[in-house]
A = this chain, B = another copy of it.
Amino acid sequence: MAERPGPQGGHGLLYLTDEQLRKGIEAMFFAYRGFTAAPDRILAEQDYGRAHHRALHFIGRSPGTTVGNLLDILGVTKQSLNRVLRRLMDDGLVEARVGREDRRERHLHLTETGRTLERALSEAQRDRMRAAYRAAGPQAVQGFRQVLEAMMDPEMRRHFEGGDAPGKAGSR
């Protein structure tokens, strides 16, 4: 009963051999490297690391987000995040504004400089993603997204689904 199912078949049951799963695991490993390679190069030039990239990304995608929210998303300690944010603020890439409703909160924004770097990073990463999407085709992209979503921790899925376009429903 083992090897039968062609890669297509198996509509009902899924025959997931350890071997198939191992390939999936390695695919994640190797792909993640490709996924981070381009931004990593840009970051290295400016002496930043992935931690800075992550902060820039999530501030860029939801301007005005708070430190606490960022801590939640990134899943690191505040001390760790603070070191990164401090540097970004000292370098003038990120700005923290005191909350108007709750003055304890700091709302984070990218400065023009910050936006520029963020754009460079995400463009590099999008290029790679776009190339992969194009190579694999729309059908595959759909499946890709489904599997990734199923692989997330449920709390993370929240942040993911919540991460809708800041402007409107109509994307673009």
Give the B-binding residues of A (Cβ under 8 A): 1, 3, 5, 7-11, 14, 16-35, 37, 54, 57, 61, 75, 122, 125-126, 128-153, 156-157, 159-160, 163, 165, 171-172
Contact = CB atoms under 8 A, between A and B. Distances in A.
Nearest to A19: B171
B151 A24 contact: no
Contacts of A75: 33
Contacts of A130: 16, 21
Given A151-B129, A151-B132, A28 B19 contact: no
B30 A138 contact: no
Given A25-B125, A26-B160, A139 B143 contact: yes
A25 B143 contact: no
Given A30-B156, A33-B153, A22 B138 contact: no
